[in-house]
Amino acid sequence: MTGPVTDGATGHGSAIAAGKGPRRVVVTGMGAVCATGASVEDFWTNATNGVCGTEIRTIKANDGTEITVPVAQADAWRALNPDLGRDIARADDFSKFAAFAADEAVKASGLDFAERDLGGRTATIIGTGIGGQSSLEDTYINMLCFEKRPHPLTILRLIPNAAASHLSIRYGLRGPAFAISSACASGAHAIGVAADLIRAGSCDAAVAGASEAIINKGALQAWKQMHILSDGLCRPFSKNRKGLIIGEGAGVLVLEEYERAKARGATIHAEILGFGMNADGKDMINPAVEGAAAAMQAALAGVRLPDAAKIYVNAHGTGTLMNDPTETKAIRATLGADADHIAVSSTKAMHGHLLGAAGGVESIMAIKALGAGVVPPTINYDVPDPECDLDVTPNEARERPIELAISNSFAFGGLNAVLAFGRV
Amino acid sequence: MADIESSLLEIIKENAVGLTGEPTRETAIADLGIDSFAVVEIIYEVEEKLSIEVPFNANENPLANMKTVGDLIDAVKEMSGQS
């Protein structure tokens, strides 16, 4: 492998080659909820089957007005109507999604946070792009249209740290806890920062991920005004792509210091080999190749790269005019000629763009691909675009041995976060 | 205006997680298992259902001198001018 990845990339990089760093970080639990599943198993099965979770729907506001746009709603989760306990029942959906996904991740990890007070050494870092925006919209409509006073829990519902706080209370986690808000990079930032805190010795474990629940009329209308919402399907990397589709849900990981996880015989799904983050420093809307590439390079600095055929990139791949060619160029700038031999896909065509939570569910997608040796497809792929000329795994999942899975997240405002996962 | 006593008992029943059985005037407030969320929700519902404004300041602990649900009912009646 001779790609032009350099150690001198700009931005923060925290790659630690297996065996070299003093503290390594592994994933021992995962939980997912979104339009294509209310469990990691359903989410992954639907991904390998190329199930499309987006649909044109009419979303109504409390004042009776409505908007009709494609969305990717967590129907399976709503049908399940899980009993999440009294505190969460009164919270915004973004906290409910986080609690639901975290319950799955924590249960799967087999961790007991009460044992030797692990809770005191566990971080809770949950990203969100906007937090409880749906609660805020309801409040304003009720107040301005119907002269109803805000519910007294409005503030606690909408604050972006609500999900992180609920989870810290739910499991008794008393280590570093906060929300990260960096638009569509929030989830990747949350997982990467949590891994860095474990590496640095600030904690031994973390419940880290992201959640988003902004499918409401006001938010959708605002997104529509940016003229980047698709009017039909989301077609990443396809010449006839027309934009993104807003999704909702959460992806949460349990991260653990490797020696600790190994000692207790935990099932290890992946090691976080690297994390790169930086800013374009250029434009609020348009992404920059240089920034995205530098973030990828920072994530891979120090990582021993396998043969290109064993690399999978779960792309940010929003299906917008601007992102997909920019990301293609960034991947090429990072991996050089090897970029022609790697597998790439954007799974957003299936589960929608979960905005802040994208890095949460897409990290799980990358880790599942790594474990299963299957690349999930870019569905709805239709017309090749010379500007997006990577192998984007069109329409059908493909078996492929994967040793390095990369998850890209590039946010509005030019904030980039990239995670690299491998086997221990 | 709704009957204050029955309304308040109903609101307490819905929000008191520690309560077993029906609340009465004699039920001790300490036995209601009211958490921080429930306090603000109970006050909000009292205000909404009874169309009154509870002069509640969380810094002053208005429950300090109240022992039973009956004390609470009497206080709300006083606020609404029905004592």
- Chain B residues with CB-CB distance to A139 below 8 A: none
A87 touches B: beta carbon within 8 Å: yes
> Does the beta-carbon distance from A153 to B17 stay under 8 Å?
no
Q: How far apart are CA A129 and CA A67, in angstroms?
A: 21
- In a domain, residue A160? The reply is yes
Nearest to A315 by CA among A237, A403, A373, A233: A237
CA dihedral (A270, A364, A294, A277) positive or negative: negative
Residue A178 CB partners (closer than 8 Å, separation 6+): A124, A125, A161, A164
Residue showing tokens 């969100």: A128
For residues A316 and A407, is the Cβ–Cβ distance under 8 A?
A: no
Which residue of A lies nearest to B18 if distances are taken between CA atoms? A86
CB B45 within 8 A of CB B10: no
Complex prediction ipTM: 0.75
Tokens of A141: 């409509």
Say if residues A298 and A11 touch (Cβ distance below 8 Å): yes
With beta carbons less than 8 A apart as the criterion, state whether A129 and A186 touch. yes
pTM score over 0.90? yes
Which residues 6+ apart lie within 8 Å of A99 measured at CB? Answer: A84, A85, A88, A91, A163, A166, A167, A170
Tens of pLDDT, residue by residue over B14-32, are 888 788 889 999 998 888 8
pLDDT in the model for residue A12:
65
Structure tokens at A381: 């792929």
How confident is the prediction along chain A (424 residues), in pLDDT tens digits per residue?
434 454 444 456 655 544 445 799 999 999 999 999 999 999 999 999 999 999 999 999 999 999 999 999 999 999 999 999 988 999 999 999 999 999 999 999 999 999 999 999 999 999 999 999 999 999 999 999 999 989 889 999 999 999 999 999 999 999 999 999 999 999 999 999 999 999 999 999 999 999 999 999 999 999 999 999 999 999 999 999 999 999 999 999 999 999 999 999 999 999 999 999 999 999 999 999 999 999 999 999 989 999 999 999 999 999 999 999 999 999 999 999 999 999 999 999 999 999 999 999 999 999 999 999 999 999 999 999 999 999 999 999 999 999 999 999 999 999 999 999 999 9
- Give kind and range of the element (H or E) at residue A379: none
The number of distinct structural domains making up chain A is 1
The domains found in chain B, sorted by start residue, are: 4-79 (1.10.1200.10)
Q: Which residues, in sequence order, are bridge partners of residue A407? A: A314, A419
Which residues span the domain enclosing A145?
25-422
CA A118/CA A198 separation, integer angstroms: 13
Q: Do B43 and A153 touch (CB under 8 A)?
A: no
User: Are the CB atoms for A354 and A248 separated by under 8 Å?
Assistant: yes
With CB atoms and an 8 Å threshold, state whether A87 touches B37.
yes
Catalytic residue, chosen from A52, A184, A234, A388, is: A184
Contact A255, A275 (CB under 8 A): no
**Is A169 part of a structural domain of the chain?**
yes
SS3 A83: coil
List, in sequence order, the alpha helices (H) in A23-71: 40-48
Q: Are A152 and B17 in contact (CB < 8 Å)?
A: no
CA distance A337 to A202: 39
Question: Which of B11, B15, B43, B44 is most worth mutating to test chain A (most A CB atoms within 10 A of its CB)?
Answer: B44
Residue A1 forms part of a structural domain: no
Q: CB–CB of B40 and A90 under 8 A?
A: no
A153 vs B17, B41, B47: nearest CB: B41
Contact status, residue A352 vs residue A53, Cβ threshold 8 Å: yes
Is residue A4 within 8 A of residue A336, CB to CB? The reply is: yes
The alpha carbon of residue B18 is apart from the nearest alpha carbon of chain A, in Å, by: 12
- Say which of A166, A189, A269, A316 is annotated catalytic: A316
Distance CA(B37)–CA(A194), nearest Å, equals 29
Specify whether A184 is catalytic. Answer: yes
A220 CB-near residues (< 8 Å, 6+ apart): A59, A67, A69, A71, A229, A246
Please name the residue of chain B whose CA is at the shortest distance from the CA of residue A90.
Answer: B37
Which of A251, A269, A160, A254 has its CA nearest to residue A198? A254
Q: B44 to chain A: nearest residue by CA? A: A152
Residue A213 lies in a domain: yes
Q: Beta strands of A214-268 (E only): which ranges?
A: 246-247, 249-257
Tell whether A3 is covered by a domain: no
Flag whether A7 is in a domain.
no
| Per-residue exposure over A118-135, b if at least 16 CB sit within 10 Å of its own CB, e if not | bbebbbbbbbbbbbbbbb
Tokens 């904690």 identify what position?
A: A203
Tell me the nearest-neighbour CA distance from A210 into chain B, angstroms. 24
Q: How far apart are CA A195 and CA A26, in angstroms?
A: 8
A151 is catalytic: no
Find chain B residues with C-beta within 8 A of A156's C-beta: 37
CB of A151 less than 8 A from some CB of B: yes
Concerning whether A12 is annotated as a catalytic residue, the answer is no
CATH number, position A141:
3.40.47.10
Q: Nearest C-alpha of chain B: how many angstroms from A153?
A: 7
**First-to-final CA distance of chain A:** 20
Strand partners, A178: A125
- The H or E element spanning position B77 is helix B69-79
Domain assignment present for A38: yes
